[in-house]
Amino acid sequence: MKTVEIRELSIDELTSGIEEAHKSLFEARFKHSMHQLENTAELRQLRHQIAQLKTVLQEKSQEA
């Protein structure tokens, strides 16, 4: 998801997006430890996505 798209989300959508990304990251880490994760770059992408979501959430909470 691009930053422009993330900025258009509401606070509730950002919160649920963070939760979903954390679940996906947990599953990816588990697969990685079992040597079943084919795309190891997915771990970095998920961490990056979580950081983007948290940053935009923080910006929106400071505005309100």
Q: What CATH number has the domain bearing residue 58? A: 1.10.287.310
Report CA 52 to chain centroid distance, whole Å: 7
What tokens does 60 get? Answer: 């929106």
Secondary structure tally for the chain: helices H, strands E: 3, 0
pTM value is: 0.91
**Predicted pLDDT at 63:** 85
User: In degrees rounded to 5, what are phi and psi of residue 36?
Assistant: -110, -5
What tokens does 50 get? Answer: 């979580």
**Predicted pLDDT at 1:** 80
Whose structure tokens read 């930053």?
3
- The answer to whether the CB of 49 falls within 8 A of the CB of 21 is yes
Give the domain extent around 16. 3-63
Q: How confident is the model at residue 5 (pLDDT cuts 50, 70, 90)?
A: very high
* Number of domains, the chain: 1
